Structure 1
Amino acid sequence: MSANTALELEDVVFRYQEKGKRNILDHTSLSIPAGTLTVLMGGSGCGKSTLAAVAAGLYPENGGFLEGGTIRLYGQDLKTLDPQKRAAYLTVLFQNPDLQFCMNTLREEMRFCLENIRVPAGEMDARIDRAAAELGIAPLLDRTLSTLSGGEKQKAALSCLYVMESRCILLDESFANLDHEAAAQLLEMLLRMKTSGRTILAIDHKADLWLEAADEIILLEEGGKVAARGINCKNLPEHRADFERLGLFYPGSRPERAARPVAEGKPLLQFRGVSIRKGLPPRRKWGRTVYDAPFLVQNADADFPAGCMTAVLGPSGTGKTTTFLSVLKQHPYTGRILFQGRDIAKMKPNELYRHIGIVFQNPANQFVTQNVEDEVCVGLRLWEPGLSDEACRQRAEELLDRYGLKRQRRYSPYMLSQGQQRRLAVLSVLAGGQELLLLDEPTYGQDARSVNAIMEHLREKVEQEGLTVIFITHDTELAAAWADQIYRLEDTALVEKSAEEVL
């Protein structure tokens, strides 16, 4: 192995089940040059996230079986490195940052990270403050991590890796919950880190933002095998067929936008003078309760037509997800939110949830079974109690096949990749009979083929069954291509936009 190689996997075989027939990494060989910015792309479920966990030494130490092969970090056999030494070589930012946090606030989390690599206590605060200033995340330092938006959590998790000063940083879908501006800011910081000699290895389903900065793009196929490499902004057109064969987003391409009439259906959901504050607790002042948390939404009026798809755009942390929680009566608000003309404040939760379904940013939080097929059957049986077991299983298999999950039907939902989990969560909610679906980043972590499967199924439900869909996304092209109506949350206001404006 060359001294200029940061990471090398040689003939690695890894599976989650000891007697399983499928290897997630199937004789995978891959080398990443030191000091470079490399982007790994591949279809959802091809083994990208598993590769990251194996490279970091998290597997098989915490699950799964490494049947063969060798992994080296900067020439050192991974098996010979304890966790502290591994962290000096490589740290990972996973798809779901919630799974990485151990403490209550970001400042405490960063101290915890430094403590684990034995940084002297007297140096910690200065190092944290310097990293916060360089990354622009000082306002997040003392906020409770559970109150941060998905995008803010991603920034917080990256700042923890930054402060540890590892030689190689591996990022798994790091831009997924960020708006374009925030993602560009993170990329700028990553490039500064690369200039200082660090290696950046990014897993992503879209290469557009990385294209000009990347030294190389590597395409993976089933089993984590290399399908094509050496791709960069200069020779990209030569590899278009590789992207299309693997069902991946080709940089610069846009989905076709079908011509649709302006959304004019009767409103199913309405906001009237709605104001929503950040999730900070009220305080007592002179014996009175004072609500001084900043507004996320202020005095908003909006109509969401029945039988239509509405997209909600907006920068990270502006309150899109919190607004969904308010619609479900899980976050306080003022004003009136009306569903089918009824004030939801007067509706009991179980009645409200019979009409409204939701898929959260982290779909693993809402699974209720230990089997993929059972998860879909729960939704089917909930709305069709008389459905026979055979008919239920048959319909579940058909739906799973449509979403590219039939082969995983016997798996636990928690064994799926993040992209596969999201498809399962969307499918499980669609199996129900609610009139309104709230989808928080439904296409996050999906390849092009999977995005089309999800959005086409939603469109079919809207047009054939009168379903109403409201989805949050940072993908302006997705919103322009699929939404009948678009709102942008900006400066505490919900502003209606046309497809041309958002593009």
Structure 2
Amino acid sequence: MSLLVKNGCFLVDQKRLELTLSLAPGETKGIYGASGSGKSTLFYLLAGLNEKGFEGGTYTIDGQTMSQLSIGERSTSVSLLFQNPDMQFCMATPREELLFCLENQCIPQEDMPNKVADALAFCEITHLADQPFTTLSGGEKQLAALACCLILESQYLLLDEPFANLDTDTSKKVIRKLQHIQQKKAIGILLIDHQIKETANWVDEWLLIEEDFRTIDQAAIRDLDHHMRKTLPLAKNKSSSNKKRLSFQQFRLPIRNHEIVFPNFAFDGGTLIGITGRSGSGKSSFLKAILQQHAYKGDVLLAGKPIKKHPSPFRSISWIMQNPQDQFLAATVAQELSQGSAPTKSEKLLAKLRLQNKSTQSPFRLSQGQQRRLAVASLLQRPVDLLLVDEPTYGQDIKQAWQIMQLLAEKATTGTLVLIVSHDILLLQQFCSQIIDFNLYEKEDADAHAKSNSQIIRHFRARLTGFFSK
């Protein structure tokens, strides 16, 4: 009994990779490698999402090939957590998505409520069950996507950067829970991770992608990670124009059952300001509030003038979104990058970001990590007073994450104020002149009241009936 690949061959950027892999029930293995090296491509193949399958070798799950399994059997054999959780959802809310998963497995309707409740409780998102996905943070979406994988009760889980959008405490808690359920139900887990600090003691064996796959142990992956960090160049000098660029006065940001309450803050132009905090605390909503896309109380001043009275804040502000696919406009990578900049500058940026061989491709055909690098680079050439950046290093290997932060630091030297939302505290400490921890400014919202149990039950029955009557 195992997930077994023997001499499996597949192409990544016309480069042929060959892999031999076995994953037994109850075992955990990790995959480590540079962004764009083929990790997610491999997961699509293992999950059966590539119709052609491996170009050579054999792939079996508990003795059966993927082609022998029906769609229903595949879902109970292997579940894939996408790196971008937005690609995972078909329905409007976590509860509806979980019901959809169970309906596809033909689970009796009377058994569904308990299964949904268990999956939500495991990921500690019961309070988000009926919230639209469009209102959830990246970390909350990641937890909802994990709940969808777990409710299928598959024998093997493929987790693509499962903790990248989560704060450290939440990541540790989820890992402990996964270890418990893994031992209880003998689930094989294969995960992709660039941040090995939290997972190294959990993972039995690592597969490293370089020119090809090779197997290394925990000690070797730690040594490799340490060596790569030591070889990184020094962070750019932290600078400031000493001009108050962005100010907050009596600022209050409502986020469901709590508020972010600031003292009177002021940030100088030419600086990098880091923003961190627990998943769902309101970091992305804070950026949207600055852009007048989220309600708030108090005043936000840009160069001394209220943004609310600004006729077009986007003339002075650029916003690099958490999901890079939401901001792409051009047909090719080169066109996306060259908007407003000289071709020679674009060529240099492509080389820095390891995208020089992608210039004629559609941005939507890049890997998640490559898309994120392109999203950052495409707005660096635009002269603005304020640059808002949401999770720029998510899905990046160490070197590329450092390169992105260097580019943002260079942008700050032009006088632009750069606000960076990130869970990577080490990077923020290296590059930012100030770090704002939202956990310190979180206050309970006295006007937010949880629904009673009877309300929740009535609501669930109404949604369940509506779901199956569609």
Establish whether TM, by shorter chain, passes 0.5. yes
SS in 1 for 2:427: helix
- State the Cα distance separating 1:96 from its structure 2 match: 0.8
* 2:337 pairs with 1:376: yes
Stretch of structure 1 that moved more, 121-130 or 305-314? 121-130
- State the Cα distance separating 1:258 from its structure 2 match: 5.7
Against the structure 1 CA distance between its residues 79 and 199, is the aligned structure 2 distance closer, same or farther, given a 3 Å change threshold?
same
1:468 to 417, 426, 430: 417
Match of 2:289 in 1: 326
Alignment of 1:393-408 (within 5 A): 393-408=343-358
Q: Which amino acid aligns with 2:330?
A: T
* 2:243 pairs with 1:266: yes
- State the Cα distance separating 1:236 from its structure 2 match: 4.9
Alignment of 1:214-225 (within 5 A): 214-222=203-211, 225=212
Q: Which amino acid aligns with 2:252?
A: S
Against the structure 1 CA distance between its residues 338 and 31, is the aligned structure 2 distance closer, same or farther, given a 3 Å change threshold?
same
Q: List per-residue Cα deviations over 1:30-72 (Å, max 9, x = no partner).
A: 33333211111110000001111111111137xxx85444322
Q: Which amino acid aligns with 1:209?
A: E
Q: List per-residue Cα deviations over 1:345-388 (Å, max 9, x = no partner).
A: 11123xx11211111110011000120001011242xxxxxxxx
Against the structure 1 CA distance between its residues 11 and 243, is the aligned structure 2 distance closer, same or farther, given a 3 Å change threshold?
farther
- State the Cα distance separating 1:14 from its structure 2 match: 3.8
* 2:275 pairs with 1:312: yes
- State the Cα distance separating 1:257 from its structure 2 match: 7.2
Match of 1:18 in 2: none
Q: Which amino acid aligns with 1:202?
A: L
Q: List per-residue Cα deviations over 1:248-272 (Å, max 9, x = no partner).
A: x6xxx79787696796822211111
Against the structure 1 CA distance between its residues 10 and 118, is the aligned structure 2 distance closer, same or farther, given a 3 Å change threshold?
farther
Alignment of 1:4-43 (within 5 A): 5-8=2-5, 10-14=7-11, 22-23=13-14, 26-43=17-34
Match of 1:46 in 2: 37
* 2:232 pairs with 1:232: no
Against the structure 1 CA distance between its residues 59 and 211, is the aligned structure 2 distance closer, same or farther, given a 3 Å change threshold?
same
Preserved contact between residue 238 and residue 431 of structure 2 (Cα < 8 Å): no
CA distance in 2, matches of 1:23, 1:31: 25
- State the Cα distance separating 1:79 from its structure 2 match: 1.7
Match of 2:467 in 1: none
Q: How many residues align?
A: 442
Preserved contact between residue 205 and residue 215 of structure 2 (Cα < 8 Å): yes
1:138 to 120, 126, 144: 126
* 2:168 pairs with 1:177: no
CA distance in 1, matches of 2:400, 2:121: 38
SS in 2 for 1:126: helix
CA distance in 2, matches of 1:255, 1:183: 26
* 2:174 pairs with 1:186: yes
Scaled by the length of structure 1, what TM-score is found?
Answer: 0.83
Against the structure 1 CA distance between its residues 254 and 300, is the aligned structure 2 distance closer, same or farther, given a 3 Å change threshold?
farther
Q: Which amino acid aligns with 1:49?
A: S
Alignment of 1:72-221 (within 5 A): 72-195=60-183, 196-221=185-210
SS in 2 for 1:490: helix
Preserved contact between residue 13 and residue 69 of structure 1 (Cα < 8 Å): no
Match of 1:478 in 2: 427
CA distance in 2, matches of 1:486, 1:243: 24
Preserved contact between residue 250 and residue 262 of structure 2 (Cα < 8 Å): yes
RMSD over aligned CA atoms reads: 2.3
CA distance in 1, matches of 2:210, 2:157: 23
- State the Cα distance separating 1:147 from its structure 2 match: 0.9
Match of 1:281 in 2: none
Scaled by the length of structure 2, what TM-score is found?
Answer: 0.88
Q: List per-residue Cα deviations over 1:169-207 (Å, max 9, x = no partner).
A: 111011111000111111112101220200111101121
- State the Cα distance separating 1:436 from its structure 2 match: 1.5
- State the Cα distance separating 1:164 from its structure 2 match: 1.0
CA distance in 1, matches of 2:107, 2:324: 36
Preserved contact between residue 179 and residue 474 of structure 1 (Cα < 8 Å): yes
Q: Which amino acid aligns with 2:142?
A: Q
CA distance in 1, matches of 2:108, 2:16: 39
* 2:53 pairs with 1:56: no
Against the structure 1 CA distance between its residues 395 and 135, is the aligned structure 2 distance closer, same or farther, given a 3 Å change threshold?
closer
CA distance in 2, matches of 1:484, 1:42: 30
Q: Which amino acid aligns with 1:266?
A: K
CA distance in 2, matches of 1:46, 1:243: 20
* 2:332 pairs with 1:346: no
Preserved contact between residue 113 and residue 164 of structure 1 (Cα < 8 Å): yes
Q: Which amino acid aligns with 1:32?
A: L
Against the structure 1 CA distance between its residues 261 and 483, is the aligned structure 2 distance closer, same or farther, given a 3 Å change threshold?
closer
Against the structure 1 CA distance between its residues 137 and 9, is the aligned structure 2 distance closer, same or farther, given a 3 Å change threshold?
farther
Against the structure 1 CA distance between its residues 144 and 236, is the aligned structure 2 distance closer, same or farther, given a 3 Å change threshold?
closer
1:358 to 314, 319, 327: 319
* 2:378 pairs with 1:428: yes
- State the Cα distance separating 1:104 from its structure 2 match: 1.5
Match of 2:328 in 1: 367
Match of 2:446 in 1: none
- State the Cα distance separating 1:454 from its structure 2 match: 1.1
Stretch of structure 1 that moved more, 371-380 or 254-263? 254-263
Which structure 2 residue ranges, 5 or more long, are not aligned?
444-470
Preserved contact between residue 319 and residue 387 of structure 2 (Cα < 8 Å): yes
CA distance in 2, matches of 1:257, 1:401: 20
CA distance in 1, matches of 2:300, 2:272: 19
Q: Which amino acid aligns with 1:273?
A: Q
- State the Cα distance separating 1:243 from its structure 2 match: 7.6
CA distance in 2, matches of 1:430, 1:258: 18
- State the Cα distance separating 1:321 from its structure 2 match: 0.2
Q: Which amino acid aligns with 1:488?
A: D
Q: Which amino acid aligns with 2:375?
A: A
Which structure 1 residue ranges, 5 or more long, are not aligned?
16-21, 279-292, 381-391, 495-503
Identity of aligned residues (%): 35
Preserved contact between residue 167 and residue 278 of structure 2 (Cα < 8 Å): yes
Against the structure 1 CA distance between its residues 261 and 39, is the aligned structure 2 distance closer, same or farther, given a 3 Å change threshold?
closer
Q: Which amino acid aligns with 1:36?
A: E
